[in-house]
Chain A
Amino acid sequence: MGIARAQLKQLKQDALAQRQPVLSMPEGGEWISAARKDAAARLDGMGLPTRRDEYWKYTRPDALTSAEPVAASMDGAAHSPVFDGIEQLKIVFVDGVFNADASDDLALEGVEISRLADAAAADIHWAKDIYGVLETRGQTPVERPLATLNTAYANDGLVIRATGTAAKPIHVMYERTSETSDVILHHVVKVEEGASVTLLETGAAGARGNTVTEVSVADKAAFHHVRSQGRDHNRQLLTHMFAQLGEESTFKSFTLTPQGVMTRNECILELTGDDAIAHVAGALMADGKDVHQDDTIFITHDAVNCESRQVFKKVLSNGATGVFQGKILVKQGAQKTDGYQISQSLLLDEDSQFLAKPELEIYADDVACSHGSTSGAIDDDALYYLRARGVPKRKAQDLLVLAFLAEAVDEIEAEDLREAILTRIRIWLDLEDDL
């Protein structure tokens, strides 16, 4: 039996009451002020998550809801050059503050890019139709108050509109110089009909980061997203990705999470146009008893003949915890849905744990949905075979880890980005390059 509804509601209000006083709503033009005020009102109704929430059963939200962030040492906060070899438009935020000097000009063929802070100054802006709108849609059937908090209080981020084929990927680099930065960033991406754009992200937003990205993918448009999150161990990070997909559109997102005492990545997708494709994948390398990472996915099929795919791989050692909550909801009428979900963990010892909650909810009759979740150890036979050929135990284990994670990395469509991620994993595992 859970606790009484009223009691839970009070706990949520208490959580909000401790967080809210240190927040202040930024100044802005008419459109964004309206969106922020709406969010603040919604937030007042919801409160903030507590550990008694069913949706936060496996991950304690405390670090995300406290007034001040838990100080995060700078260990491992040096920026990893994951995408250095990739031609890109680079945009840098340092502890959540846009850094114009370190960033490229926000000019890219096929795309219009501006800072949210600039877009917010206008009274009217196209982002009005997306900012807080997709986030609001993503609040049912499960509330995500920390995303709403973000909508209400974020003072910067990026506003991106792809009108054609983006000439190169947009790379948002989050750097961190402070042990106490508390960062809230909000991005809006609009991919217009037939357009395509790739968004790369690296680093942790801050000592504590809360980022929301709302993506509207129009008919026949494509959005690709590849990110490598901060490897700094003590940072606390919460990300939300809300996307809505039009007809024959494509959405593909991949996340590499290395370490971190607190990472929760929520991805909420809504397939509203026929023949759309949505893929979400993630690879986790977690080593250490205080490492905790959570992927929470919610994909709603509300159109015909769409495909969705979730592939999550987590390597856990020395007491690390990996969480996967993934749901596929197929609405009435969403016939010919092809939904696939797999979450797997590789447990390198008995102290680590993988908590998985895969769910299917289907209201259409002509669909093909499958989900699976496994937890396993290193294959002893494979380990022995490698060692019998002279590969030291540690390296043999790393090779098997790489092979395990590669199945998630393979979900990245662009070969150069796929290679960039694999190379980074190899470097982190201290393995030499593949042939």
Chain B
Amino acid sequence: MLEIKNLHVKLEDEDKQILKGLNLTVETGKVHAIMGPNGSGKSTLSYVLSGRDGYEVTDGSATMDGFDLLEAETEERAAEGLFLAFQYPVEIPGVSNMTFLRTALNAQRKARGEDEMSATDFLKMVREKAKSLKIDADMLKRPVNMGFSGGEKKRNEILQMAVLEPKMCILDETDSGLDVDAMKLVSDGVNALRSEGRSFLVITHYQRLLDHIVPDVVHIMADGRIIKTGGPELALEVEKNGYADLLAEHA
């Protein structure tokens, strides 16, 4: 599904290299987790994959089922099935959640040459999905993420994912700021979406999330590279011992 080779990324405005030869392959239908110290470049990786301005790819490639992600516009990547649940979801005054979701869904459908979804079907679908994430009608009417609590924003990201049904989902610290119940809710939401054709890349600092969303593969990222790859036990090791040993081992 996702194939990243020797990815080098620097800041556009600064002479600062952040990703330094990153290799990563996520197979179709699998859940991969990335853990790593603060500042190691996890969010940067997700931003570069989705096409945020401000970064410059100096070497390497990233493809999704053969589709060259790095060459495409942000919206084209989304229509192709890439989804990023933001570490810091953005507030948009004046645009209701509903309008946002509908515009996004229909734009993606249009880009794929599909018919737009009727207003009635859309409302029904969103209400159902919102309900299972405990997002009420009032939140749907409110402007995107405005006045949402940290946990509500994260739930809203998962709702967007559920509505858009992407094939490659990147979750950047979706667990941070969630209480125990919300963590369960969000995990259930993610697990419900797990399927043969859909892959996940879950960025997290905590083993706790991985108790709920059990990964197939765990990667450790440090200083812009994947330094170790293993099974779920790797996450447990980090939880217990921190990164010191792994970093020392790598150095």
Contact = CB atoms under 8 A, between A and B. Distances in A.
Nearest to B82: A388
B129 to A, nearest CB: 15
Contact of B74 (A388, A395, A431): A388
B86 A395 contact: no
Interface string A417-435: 0000000000000011011
A435 B78 contact: no
A386 B104 contact: yes
Contacts of A391: 75, 103-104, 107
B96 A389 contact: no
Given A384-B53, A395-B107, A434-B99, A389 B160 contact: yes
A395 B92 contact: no
A385 B74 CA distance: 9
B164 A407 contact: no
Interface string A90-112: 00000000000000000000000
Nearest to A381: B90
A399 interface: yes
- Which residue, of A384, A387, A389, has the highest number of chain B Cβ atoms within 10 A? A389
Interface residues of B, number: 37
A380 interface: yes
B111 interface: yes
Contacts of A8: none
Chain A interface bracket (under 10, 10 to 19, 20 to 34, 35 or more)? 20 to 34
Given A387-B78, A391-B103, A400 B95 contact: yes
Interface string B84-110: 101001111111101110111111100
B119 interface: yes
- Which residue, of A392, A393, A407, A432, has the highest number of chain B Cβ atoms within 10 A? A392
> What does DSSP make chain B's interface, helix, strand, loop or mixed?
helix
B73 A393 contact: yes
A406 interface: yes
Interface in A363-416: 379-382, 384-393, 395-396, 399-400, 402-404, 406-407
Given A380-B53, A435-B99, A435-B119, A390 B108 contact: yes
Contacts of B90: 381-382, 384-385
- Which residue, of B92, B96, B108, has the highest number of chain A Cβ atoms within 10 A? B92
Contact of A403 (B75, B94, B108, B122): B94
A386 B89 CA distance: 11
A36 to B, nearest CB: 47
A387 B75 contact: yes
Interface string B101-138: 01111111001000000010011000000000000000
Contact of A400 (B75, B89, B92, B111): B92
Contacts of B103: 386, 391, 395, 399, 431-432
Interface in A40-73: none
Contacts of A406: 94
A385 B86 contact: yes
Contacts of B123: 435
B17 to A, nearest CB: 22
A79 B123 CA distance: 34
B75 A402 contact: no
Given A390-B164, A403-B95, A404-B94, A435 B74 contact: no
Contacts of B73: 387, 392-393
5 contacts: A385-B92, A386-B104, A387-B74, A388-B75, A390-B111
Given A388-B51, A435-B99, 11 more contacts: A379-B92, A386-B92, A389-B100, A389-B160, A390-B79, A390-B111, A393-B73, A400-B94, A402-B94, A432-B102, A435-B122
